[in-house]
Amino acid sequence: METREAVLKRKSVRDFDAGKTVDDSTIRSILELGIRAPSAGNLQPWKIFVVRKPETKKALAGAAFGQRFVSAAPVVLVVCADRARAASGYGRRGAELYCIQDTAALTENILLAAADFGLGTCWVGAFDESRCMEALGIHEGLRPVAIVPVGYAAGNTAGTGRRPLDEIALWD
């Protein structure tokens, strides 16, 4: 798939086909493409939790303020920033900013790779970090940044519009 095609194909999916699973080899391929994302100093300050257990997915949906589609996906990825790893190269700025930028780039790669495999995803940023950490048994050194349900879309998912480029881009 061309980059342009993957970008245009990617949509936020909140309704997953309960009858279709996603095999581990596909998730592994998606994650391998995800970790090709750039990171400050190539420190790669991230951890990714691959969640399949229904009780953990349910706890993550609860942490995401009751967004039930999170638990309906066959796989849920939780992308975390490793603040200490980022701080090792860049101090406070690494721990507070670079690791967030780096995990955002990783998350976007995951979304595009999943689209390339014909899978739907949704970048969930609305969640209680403490409850997410508790659901996964995460220690204080990791900060959950994104919850990404992954699965096959149930039906056709309509895309959303975008603001015109002329409203956004400022040319000198």
Residue 157: inside a domain, yes or no? no
Q: What is the spatial order of strands in the sheet that 142-151 belongs to? A: 46-51, 75-82, 142-151, 120-121
Residue 158: inside a domain, yes or no? no
pTM score? 0.95
- The count of domains in the chain is 1
- List the domain range (segments joined by +) for residue 87: 3-149
Residue 86: inside a domain, yes or no? yes
Answer yes or no: are the C-beta atoms of 145 and 100 closer than 8 Å. yes
- 66 torsion bin: left (phi>0), alpha (psi -120 to 50), beta (else): left
- Quickly state the pLDDT bin for 12 (edges 50, 70, 90): very high
- pLDDT, mean over the chain: 95
Greater model confidence, 160 or 149: 149
Residue 88: inside a domain, yes or no? yes
Query: What's the N-to-C CA distance of the chain in angstroms?
Result: 33
Amino acid, single-letter form, for residue 131: R
**The pLDDT value given to residue 1:** 61
Residue 94: inside a domain, yes or no? yes
**The pLDDT value given to residue 126:** 98
Residue 63: inside a domain, yes or no? yes
Residue found by looking up tokens 């493409």 in the block: 33
- Quickly state the pLDDT bin for 6 (edges 50, 70, 90): confident
Whether the pLDDT of residue 170 is over 90: the answer is yes
Could you tell me the CATH number of the domain that includes residue 85? 3.40.109.10
Mean pLDDT of 135-154: 95
Residue 169: inside a domain, yes or no? no
Q: What is the pLDDT of residues 39-50, one digit of tens each?
A: 999 999 999 999
Residue found by looking up tokens 């959950």 in the block: 144
- 118 torsion bin: left (phi>0), alpha (psi -120 to 50), beta (else): left
Residue 96: inside a domain, yes or no? yes
Cα–Cα distance, 60 to 10 (Å, whole number):
23
